[in-house]
Chains A and B, each alone.
Chain A
Amino acid sequence: MTFVVTDNCIRCKYTDCVEVCPVDCFYEGENMLVINPDECIDCGVCEPECPADAIISDAAESAEDWLAINAQYAAVWPVITEKKDPLADAEEWNGVPDKLRFLSEEAAETA
C-alpha cells in the first residue's frame, strides 16, 4: 500500500506534500513530483495537503498506471525534502484534464 501522485501535479508542482512527508519519499521532476512506493509508509498525511488533489491511495481503482509511473521516475529523479514555490503558472494548470501528455521526463535541476 502506498499513495501515488497523479497527473494534476504536472505543470503545478505545489510541493505542500513534501513539507509533511515523515519519510521524505517525494522525488522531483522538471514539472511533476512522484512518490517512491517502496519508501511511502501509507500514512496519508500528504493527500489532503495537495492544493491540486493530485495524490491518491493506490487502493483506488484508477491508481494502477500511476503506481508504475511513480515507481519509474522515483528511481531516477532526485529526492525533494523541502517545500518550494510552485511552478509560475500553477494556478492556470490546476484542474486542466489529462495532463500526462505534458509530463517532462527530465529530472528537476538541483541547486
Chain B
Amino acid sequence: MNVITSPETVTAAAPAGALLLRVLDVRHYTDSLFSFRTTRPASFRFRSGEFVMIGLMVNGKPLFRAYSIASPSWDEELEFFSIKVLDGPLTSRLQKIKPGDEILMRQKATGTLVNDALVPGRRLYMLSTGTGIAPFASLIRDPETYEKFDEVVLTHTCRQVAELRYGIDLVEAIRGDEMLVELFDPGKLVHYPTTTRESYQRQGRITDLIRSGSLFADLGVPAFDPTVDRVMICGSMEMLRETKALVEEAGLAEGSNSRPAEFVIERAFVE
C-alpha cells in the first residue's frame, strides 16, 4: 500500500480537475471518530450543508468518498468530521493524515440538506446520529439559518458519551464566538444530545424520543406541525428510514433543491 500525502508528490500525481487541500489541524475524539481542517481553494464554492468528494492518492490512483462539509460557507477553511473504519478503503488511511499533508477534493459540492430545499417555517429541527452531525455543524454556524428560522434544534444521538464531544465543543464554541454572536442570536440554538449505550443526562434513540413525545416535552413545544416545523435528517440508513416515516406521518412532505418542501434527508456517508 502506498499513500501519497506529501505536497510535491500529490501535486504531481493528482488527477485532472481535482483540488488540493492542505491539512491544517486534526483532532481525534475516539477510536472511531476524528475531525480535521484544511485550506480552502479560492475557486471552491458551496452552500452550507452540502457534501463533496474528498480523497487520497492510493497506489497511484485517486480514491474518493463523499463527505459533508462541516464548516459554514463563509469560512476561509474547510472542516470535515469522519469515522475511522479499520478496513475502510479511505478512512483507514485518511485517519493518519497530519498537518502539512495534502488531500484531494473534487470541485462539485451538492446535497439536499440546504436551506434552499425547505419552504419557510418557524422552527428548524436538525436530527442527526454519529457523523450525521457534520452538515449541521456547517448550518448552525451560518447566519442565514437564523434569518430563516426563529428556533434551531440540533439533536445528536450516539452510542457513547465520548462520541458527543465534537457536537458539544462545537456548540460551546459558537456561544463563545464574539464574531458569530454579532451576526445571530445563539439563544435561538438548542442542542439536544442523547446516548443509546451509555448513561447520560438524556438517553434514547431519537426515533423513540419522537414517538414517545419526550423530545417535544423536553423542549416544551408541540409535536411536529407541518405549518411551522421544518426537519433535516442525517444519519444511518435505518435511522433515515424510520425518522422519515415519522415526519411523514406528522404530515410533512419531502423537499429538494428544485421543489422545496417541509423536510429533507441525507445519509451520513459510511464506507
- A residues with a Cβ closer than 8 A to B are 16, 19-24, 41, 43-45, 48-49, 51
Known contacts: A22-B52, A23-B106, A43-B51. The answer to whether A49 contacts B257 by CB under 8 A is yes
In B215-271, the 8 Å CB interface with A consists of 254-259, 266-267, 269
Tell me the minimal C-beta distance from B235 to chain A in angstroms. 14
Task: Establish whether residues B111 and A45, one from each chain, have CB atoms under 8 Å apart when the complex forms.
Answer: yes
Tell me the minimal C-beta distance from B1 to chain A in angstroms. 22
Contacts of B112 in A (CB 8 A): 45, 48
Task: Establish whether residues A48 and B266, one from each chain, have CB atoms under 8 Å apart when the complex forms.
Answer: no
The answer to the question of B108 belonging to the interface, with a C-beta cut-off of 8 Å to chain A, is: yes
Contacts of A43 in B (CB 8 A): 51, 66, 110, 266-267, 269
Tell me the minimal C-beta distance from A78 to chain B in angstroms. 17
Known contacts: A43-B51, A48-B255. The answer to whether A20 contacts B66 by CB under 8 A is no
Q: Mask for B85-126, Cβ within 8 A of A = 1, else 0?
A: 000000000000000000000101111100000000000000
Task: Establish whether residues A20 and B257, one from each chain, have CB atoms under 8 Å apart when the complex forms.
Answer: yes
Per the bound structure, the CA–CA distance linking A96 and B267 in Å amounts to 32
Tell me the minimal C-beta distance from A47 to chain B in angstroms. 8
Chain B, residue nearest A24 (CB): B108
The answer to the question of B53 belonging to the interface, with a C-beta cut-off of 8 Å to chain A, is: yes
Which of B53, B254, B256, B266 has the most chain A CB atoms inside 10 A of its CB? B256
Task: Establish whether residues B53 and A23, one from each chain, have CB atoms under 8 Å apart when the complex forms.
Answer: yes
Count, A-B residue pairs, CB within 8 A: 45
Task: Establish whether residues B258 and A51, one from each chain, have CB atoms under 8 Å apart when the complex forms.
Answer: yes
Tell me the minimal C-beta distance from B229 to chain A in angstroms. 19
Tell me the minimal C-beta distance from A100 to chain B in angstroms. 25
Contact of A20 among B52, B110, B267 (CB under 8 A): B110
Task: Establish whether residues B258 and A22, one from each chain, have CB atoms under 8 Å apart when the complex forms.
Answer: no
Task: Establish whether residues B258 and A16, one from each chain, have CB atoms under 8 Å apart when the complex forms.
Answer: yes
Contact of B108 among A22, A41, A48 (CB under 8 A): A22
Task: Establish whether residues B256 and A49, one from each chain, have CB atoms under 8 Å apart when the complex forms.
Answer: yes
Tell me the minimal C-beta distance from A53 to chain B in angstroms. 11
Tell me the minimal C-beta distance from B20 to chain A in angstroms. 18
Per the bound structure, the CA–CA distance linking A48 and B251 in Å amounts to 18
Task: Establish whether residues B259 and A48, one from each chain, have CB atoms under 8 Å apart when the complex forms.
Answer: yes
Contact of A41 among B66, B255, B259 (CB under 8 A): B66
Per the bound structure, the CA–CA distance linking A43 and B109 in Å amounts to 12
Per the bound structure, the CA–CA distance linking A48 and B263 in Å amounts to 12
Contacts of A24 in B (CB 8 A): 108
Contacts of A49 in B (CB 8 A): 256-258
Per the bound structure, the CA–CA distance linking A23 and B62 in Å amounts to 13
Contacts of B64 in A (CB 8 A): 23
